[in-house]
Amino acid sequence: MAKPLKTAITPVRAEDYPEWYQQIIKASDLAEKSPVRGCMVIKPWGYALWENIMRGMDDMFKATGVKNAYFPLFIPLSFLEKEAEHVEGFAKECAVVTHHRLEKNDQGGLAPAGELAEPLVVRPTSETIIGDSFAKWVSSYRDLPILINQWANVVRWEMRTRIFLRTSEFLWQEGHTAHASAEEAIERTQMMLEVYARFVEDFLAMPVIRGSKTASERFPGAVDTLCIEAMMQDCKALQAGTSHFLGQNFAIASGIRFQNASEEEEYAWTTSWGSSTRLIGGLIMTHSDDNGLVLPPRIASAHVVLLPIYRSDADREKVMAYTEKLATDLRGQKYHDRSVQVEIDTRDIGGARGWDWIKKGIPVRVEIGPKDIEKDALFVGRRDHDPKQKTSIPRVQFLQDFTATLDEIQRSLYDRALNFREAHTQKIESREAFDAYFTPRSAEKPEIHGGFALSHWCGEAQCEQQIKEALNVTIRCIPLENTPEDGRCICCGRPSRERVVWAKAY
């Protein structure tokens, strides 16, 4: 009987996927739990990922005319009450501030003293308070469109939390726009969805399906919600970004009115769109393996680590000089308009150094010893290859090919994720086959099962709800590129004109 392969992460994905995910975060030093229930501390290696996400996404937003601004963390309760569907959708997740000022109590502790005249909700999303500003900024059609984004934190009081995927406080961006016509607002909604899709596919190497949400899955108060859905390695779906056409609902609630070209007063048409640190969770679950984190180069916290190896002081001086010169040459290169980021690890911990960087997911590892210097060569490992697969490469060739190598890694990760999604996506016609697809083979060992089912739906909410209650499977989206096709609803058997994407989801 063959001995099981030793891995850096235990348990492995096939044994306990949720625990594997937690161990990846711990081993890669991305983040940790905080003393505050449901909140996380994002450590430097993890925050560098978020900075790279912000930088790349922000450039793409600004290329469409969007400008950044900032709005208050606290939202008066009365603002949320203005849009009935909105407050109902977020009510259970709101954290509320009711007092200010602390005073010592009889037991020597501290207690809130001053009650606020009106409770303040800690920002779960900002449609209502940004709408209040828009109402002040708009009086004529000449003031439109307004295209605003803010990078901020939000609080949603989650009952069951998981680092990056679902926390009580998380970081995100939220875009908000106001327009003079429905057509212009719809165009902006579609445009921002495509920005998200291109960013996630090009930077995070995560293939996504573009689609619209069903009425039950829409953002509270929206007329239409567009989304991108990605498949994780446990075959569950992750919503990686959303863009909402809000119609005039929030404009009416906030009083965003303007005089049109005919000098008639009407309400603006608005949109909102957002993505968050959940993208880091998606990145982990899309690419990482049983040896740790795997980072696509375009978003990686750093591109390459240099590992000098020496046994004597004389060797140390020679190796370090060679290493520093290599680092300078690498940092002088650009990779997709970003300077190459280089780490140098001089810790005296032997072979554990290499494994530390494998677990942290850095795309390229370079070992440099006296014998390598004699040959003017480098011993190179790539994170998209087996950890034991390392190659001696002449220094000149390594530098010449470095950015092309990073692009190779980026492409290989995207292709691997796309092939996985295609292998776990099926067209399913019968309810019996549908149920079997989403049912674990055994309670003792719930192996990876299911994936994306492309099945017909009649459009009735009761069919969607029935399957959700029976299997915990939801319609992730109605693909935007759907081709009309006659079929039968997977639930009730009534006629259907299109397939939708069904899946279990985070």
Q: Which residues pair with 478 in a beta bridge?
A: 212
Query: pLDDT digits over 454-476, tens only?
Result: 999 999 999 999 999 999 999 99
Residue 129 to residue 151: CA distance in whole angstroms: 15
Residue 252 to residue 82: CA distance in whole angstroms: 9
pLDDT of the residue at 5: 64
Ramachandran class of 255: left when φ > 0, alpha when ψ lies in -120 to 50, beta otherwise: left
Which fold would CATH assign to domain 17-75+127-287?
BirA Bifunctional Protein; domain 2 (3.30.930)
Query: pLDDT digits over 258-282, tens only?
Result: 999 999 999 999 999 999 999 999 9
Decide if domain 304-419 falls under CATH 3.40.630.10: no
Residue 408 to residue 364: CA distance in whole angstroms: 12
Q: Where are the beta strands (DSSP E) in 12-156?
A: 31-33, 40-42, 67-68, 74-76, 95-104, 110-122, 146-155
Which fold would CATH assign to domain 425-503?
Translation Initiation Factor IF3 (3.30.110)
pLDDT of the residue at 214: 97
Q: Which residues pair with 153 in a beta bridge?
A: 171
Which tokens belong to 293?
């984190």
3 state SS of 443? coil
3 state SS of 439? coil
Share of the chain above pLDDT 70, in %: 97
Q: What is the DSSP string of 292-338?
A: B----TTT-S-SEEEEE--SSHHHHHHHHHHHHHHHHHHHTSEETTE
Query: pLDDT digits over 121-144, tens only?
Result: 999 999 999 999 999 999 999 999
Burial class (CB in 10 A: 0-12, 13-18, 19+), 146: buried
Q: Which residues pair with 96 in a beta bridge?
A: 121
Do 17-75+127-287 and 425-503 have matching folds? Answer: no
Is 70 exceeded by the pLDDT of residue 310?
yes
How far apart, in Å, are the Cα atoms of 70 and each of 5, 174, 175, 477?
Answer: 51, 10, 11, 31
Is 80 exceeded by the pLDDT of residue 356?
yes
Q: Where are the beta strands (DSSP E) in 183-222?
A: 209-212
Average pLDDT value for residue range 326-344 = 97
Residue ranges per structural domain of the chain: 17-75+127-287, 304-419, 425-503
Query: pLDDT digits over 157-167, tens only?
Result: 988 899 999 99
The 10 Å Cβ neighbour count of residue 152 is: 16
- More confident of the two residues 311 and 380: 380
Locus of tokens 């009115």: 257
Determine how β-strand 95-104 pairs with β-strand 110-122: antiparallel
Query: pLDDT digits over 385-396, tens only?
Result: 999 999 999 999
pLDDT of the residue at 2: 45
Residue 265 to residue 135: CA distance in whole angstroms: 13
- What are the CB-based long-range contacts (under 8 Å, 24+) for 437-442? 438/471, 438/473, 438/504, 439/471
93: CB partners within 8 A, 6+ apart: 124, 156, 157, 158
